[in-house]
Structure 1
Amino acid sequence: MLAAIWGASFLFMRIAAPAFGSINTAFLRVLFALIGLAIILLLMRSPLRFEGKLKPIMLLGIINSGIPFLMYAIAALWLPAGYSAILNATTPLMGALIGFSCFSEQLSGRKWLGVVLGLLGITLITTTGEVALSETVITGVLACLIATACYGCAGFLTRRWITARGGLDVKLVAFGSQLGATLFLLPFFGYGVTAGPVVDWAIPEVWASILAVGFICTALAYLIYFRLIADIGPLRSLTVTFLIPPFGIFWGYLVLGETLTEGFMLGGVIVCLSVWLVVSPAKPIPSQLLGSK
């Protein structure tokens, strides 16, 4: 269900961003996510006790929501929804590279192979898809990769800033992060509305997409994801990464009539294989090979 919801977010942004603009789409997404989470906290009567962690949570919101949502909205101006969904699957690859480069995480030969295959898959997607290679397409791909790099970095920062400091109710983490993302994007939204191109706000289907991506694909999805982490752990929860691309491609085909080439599908399979190599645990060495102590 979570993969279906997150896969649909690329469809909704593909509908909204060309009509409202990338900045407006990103801001409205986090704003309605913030409103939805506030309603949930109110209904559940959860106390707003951040235990001194509000500032780092808001900063995490900028890294984990504000910048990525803006990047995906920019990508949605030019890339089909299926492209963004496949590129989103590179999040664990980015996490592995950032962990190795900045957080003293070790990468085995298996994981390095996954990283190399991931780069190969991205190259195939960029050069053999249904969209002709151009500066705008490259910009869209780079925007998606910036978003996944932010996601990869945010995981380590969450461990350092929140988990290592005693943790916090996941509903409060989600709410605080969307508050930070909303405040971060607010000046850009204000400037765009006052000085940017004129936007036709009276388009019902675009508003329906904005409300869906905010309330369902962000607020509700965060709660489901954090619940998954609590129930089955972060490693197993990462398996949602494998399921998002098929759903993103399916929704784009069903609603927008997007088509995919064989080269694009091959690139998507390679990306999924590379993600599996990165996130799957290594097989334990049999005890008899380790010797006795």
Structure 2
Amino acid sequence: MTRRGWVLFTLMAFLWGIPYLMIKVAVEGVSTPVLVFARTAVGAAILLPLALRRGGLRPLVPYWRPLLAFAVIEIVVPWWLLADAERHLTSSLTGLLIAASPIVGVVVARLTGAGEQLGTVRWVGLGVGLVGVVVLAGPGLTGGDPWAIVEVLVVAVCYATAPQIAARKLADVPSLPMTAACLGFAALVYAVPAGLTWPSALPSTPVLAALAGLALFCTALAFLVFFALIREVGTSRALVFTYVCPAVAVTAGVLLLAEPLTVAIVVSFVLILAGSVLATAARKAKQEQPVPAVPA
């Protein structure tokens, strides 16, 4: 993987590893609809003026169907499920379960004929990473809330499916207006539910800070980096950053929320990170397949 690819990979691991901590803090003070609405509305408010300045939203019109599908699968459904699940699960366990996304992504790519070929080393990397997730999440699965765990696993499927839509159906769509439009649509979906469950008093400072961080960094900035990463390294390889996100999520949970740090966590960290390196290993030139690009 290129140096730029590694920079984007590392940045995404942080930007989508830290949200679990912020969501855990935010759900203590606001409802799920308010959380999702705040995140999407602020993100759209930041990105929409930039998109309009760079050509507007008109180029999106021919792609409204895949755009709608992407918005629903990447934002509308999973962000509700994540927030609802974290009312019952630790931020660490939530982040760990999301690490199933790269495995699901490989299956989706194969079933839909995305064309990304995986060599032996990358298959081994995916396997090692999955073992790390199982070692760490296994004990939590037996003691956690079953429905909340199902919600997070559905999120993992969504996060594995949406990039395939972006890579195959939205390859000619500029990422900035696309992201702004998707966030704006999601904000409209949640506007009424948020209004009906709006807090009667101003939330605490930590809750407000968590909402701001989710909107500014984990949403507006993260989506731009996400599309750049897909263009740089391909869909299946890009999704492997979710193997590192659990390490970020657990570290943040342990340091800031006093969530438990066990031997299993340490061992799993090693497996997850090793799997990430192997799964993102470069293939020989003759084995490379063209990857649909998402213009920045």
Flag whether TM exceeds 0.5 (same fold). Answer: yes
1:162 corresponds, among 170, 183, 201, to: 170
Q: How does 1:1-293 map to 2 (within 5 A)?
A: 1-42=11-52, 44-49=53-58, 50-103=60-113, 120-129=131-140, 133-134=142-143, 136=145, 138-163=146-171, 167-190=172-195, 193=197, 200-230=201-231, 232-234=232-234, 237-238=238-239, 240-271=241-272, 280=281
Kept after mapping to 2: 8 A contact 1:93/1:278 = no
SS at match of 2:89: coil
Aligned mates of 2:240, 2:130 — CA distance in 1 = 20
Kept after mapping to 2: 8 A contact 1:53/1:162 = yes
Q: 1:59 to 1:199 in 2, by over 3 A?
A: farther
Aligned mates of 2:113, 2:185 — CA distance in 1 = 24
Cα deviations by residue, 1:55-108 (Å, 9 ceiling, x for unpaired): 421331111111111121122212222222222222111111223345576777
Kept after mapping to 2: 8 A contact 1:12/1:209 = yes
Kept after mapping to 2: 8 A contact 1:19/1:199 = no
TM-score computed with the length of structure 2 as normaliser: 0.76
Q: Which of structures 1 and 2 has the bigger CA Rg?
A: 1
Matched residue count: 274
CA RMSD for the aligned pairs?
A: 3.3
Q: 1:15 to 1:224 in 2, by over 3 A?
A: same
Residue 7 (structure 1) shift: 1.8
Instruction: Give unmatched runs, 5+ long, in structure 1.
Output: 287-293
Residue 116 (structure 1) shift: 6.3
Kept after mapping to 2: 8 A contact 1:26/1:70 = yes
Aligned mates of 1:116, 1:229 — CA distance in 2 = 21
Residue 143 (structure 1) shift: 1.8
Aligned mates of 1:119, 1:227 — CA distance in 2 = 25
TM-score computed with the length of structure 1 as normaliser: 0.77
Deviates most, 270-279 or 218-227: 270-279
Aligned mates of 1:55, 1:116 — CA distance in 2 = 35
Cα deviations by residue, 1:93-130 (Å, 9 ceiling, x for unpaired): 1111223345576777777766766665554334435x
Aligned mates of 1:216, 1:272 — CA distance in 2 = 23
Instruction: Give unmatched runs, 5+ long, in structure 2.
Output: 1-10, 288-296
Residue 47 (structure 1) shift: 2.1
Residue 168 (structure 1) shift: 1.3
Residue 14 (structure 1) shift: 0.7
